[in-house]
Structure 1
Amino acid sequence: MATVTIAPVRRRRTVRTFLPPQHGAWAMLLVPYLAGIVVGGFHWLDLPLLGAWLGGYLFSYYAFQAVKTRRPGRFREPLLLYGPVTAALAIPVLVARPQLLWFAPAYTVLLAVNGWFAWRRRERALVNDLASVVQSCLMVPVVAVVAGVAPTRVAVAGLIVLLYFAGTVLFVKTMIRERGVVAYTRGSVLYHLLAFAAAAVIGVVPALVFALLLVRTWSLPGRPLTPKRVGLIEIGACVLVLLAAWSGGQ
């Protein structure tokens, strides 16, 4: 009986050692990448790019955990795994597309912001979340460059994705960590009104999508929704945003 009980616990610990419990992060990683491909086109280098992108996120997550806890040894295993994997996948992409290094200063600054908030143990701060959003959305022009397309080709799609994720940071806070905080709720609704106005200038489909996002932002705060249900709502929103990005990028 002890073996039956202990084995699942060990498996859970192993998963926690190598996979962070940040389910919403996967949408921020994948949606900009997919938006870049949908609008800018696919190149075989997008495959190692995706691996390096995911590996880089996993490495940075545990690196910031090491900074936050002041216990780097605790995260030695995932760092030793994801560091080399990320480098091995990123190097061929950079060799083939050295112009990607133009993005390095922006990522350096944004990661420094994340590192500072991790050191201060304030990784849930709004500024830190928005810095992570910008990092993710830069993947739209990165994918375009990998495909041999000018970043301007995907600028509108990148803006749509950025508008969505910046708004989602506010919306999710009103549903979970800042539930009942009037200032956050009002700020979230105001932001989504402005985002809707910007989307309306872009086109009909983006306007319709951001109209729905505005409705969810106005109507859902205060309702007894679990984080899981909020996450499911955002999965549907991500699909709509990809449609808006494709439409706006045509």
Structure 2
Amino acid sequence: MDTKNKGIVIPHEHGGWAMISVPFLFGMMAGTPQWSHGLLFVAWLFLYLASYPFLQALKRSKQRAHLLKWSAIYGIIALAAVLAPLIQKPALFYFGIPFVLLLIVNIWHVKQKSERAIINDLCAILIFSLGGAAAYLFGDGGWDWTMLAVTVFNSIYFLGTAFFVKTIFRERGNSKWKTAANLYHVLILVVPWALGYPWMVLPFIFPLIRTLLFAGKQMRPMKAGILEIVGSVQFIVVSWVVF
């Protein structure tokens, strides 16, 4: 964000871009892809863009007016883009309920200056995973087991990423976090079998190997970002084949 010149406000966390796109693509492929998914994605993208300056405004009083202006701009674009999908599939409106509830938790953590708490990360991940569920429903899906699987697989993948990132940055040297990250990535291999999608074990092999090799070690942000990009790409590609 350009706070000096008060230019355009966009998120700078590369992980956010993966989380806004991967769950949506997963949900879209789980249902029936349609050209109108593009408009729904625009709405989802700009809703994410609107939430970023809004949350930043809660803790940056000097730039608050500027941040809220951009939040409003993005919000208006999101609202305009979502109107047609809502008319086509009114049931999308129901996703607004968990979205608002989870956003309230994020707001609370911002006010408490505890944005790095794992619960806050989990709530943010669940918000992004809602995008996958919405994309599935929009693509002629239903409120069914497949929607649950789409939501769970997206959530556990990105929660694993959150665990891993903590071990190489804020919690580097903390053996408990390293152990928790390693154990988590082993245990989630059971989830695909439990949900009836055994082949979905495959896209979770890369994050398991990544964590076992690098958790707790010093790593430059660029290398971590590359690993995250590779992990996200393989997750959506392999999932597209085996789901």
Q: What TM-score results when the alignment is normalised by the length of structure 2?
A: 0.89
Corresponding position of 2:215 = 221
CA distance in 2, matches of 1:172, 1:189: 12
Report the CA distance between 1:131 and its aligned residue. Answer: 0.3
- For structure 1, list consecutive stretches of 5 or more residues without a partner in the other structure: 1-9
Deviations 1:179-219 (CA, angstroms, capped at 9, x unpaired): 11111111111111111222355555432332332121121
Task: After TM superposition, list the pairs within 5 Å mapping 1:53-202 onto structure 2.
Answer: 53-71=44-62, 72-152=64-144, 153-200=146-193, 202=196
Q: For residues 34 and 70 of structure 1, do their structure 2 counterparts lie closer, same or farther at Cα, with a shift above 3 Å needed?
A: same
Give the percent of matched residue pairs that are identical in Structure 1 and Structure 2: 29
Q: Which has the larger radius of gyration?
A: 1
Q: Which amino acid aligns with 1:55?
A: F
Corresponding position of 2:226 = 232
CA distance in 2, matches of 1:240, 1:79: 32
CA distance in 1, matches of 2:181, 2:174: 11
Q: 2:19 aligned to 18, 24, 28, which one?
A: 28
Q: Aligned residue pairs: how many?
A: 239
Corresponding position of 1:41 = 32
8 Å contact from structure 2 (residues 174, 216) kept in 1: no
- Partner SS state of residue 41, structure 1: coil
Q: What TM-score results when the alignment is normalised by the length of structure 1?
A: 0.87
Report the CA distance between 1:32 and its aligned residue. Answer: 0.5
Tell me which stretches of 4 or more aligned residues in structure 1 moved more than 3 Å. 10-15, 199-205
Report the CA distance between 1:11 and its aligned residue. Answer: 11
CA distance in 1, matches of 2:152, 2:136: 14
Deviations 1:28-73 (CA, angstroms, capped at 9, x unpaired): 0000011112221212221111111111111111001111224521
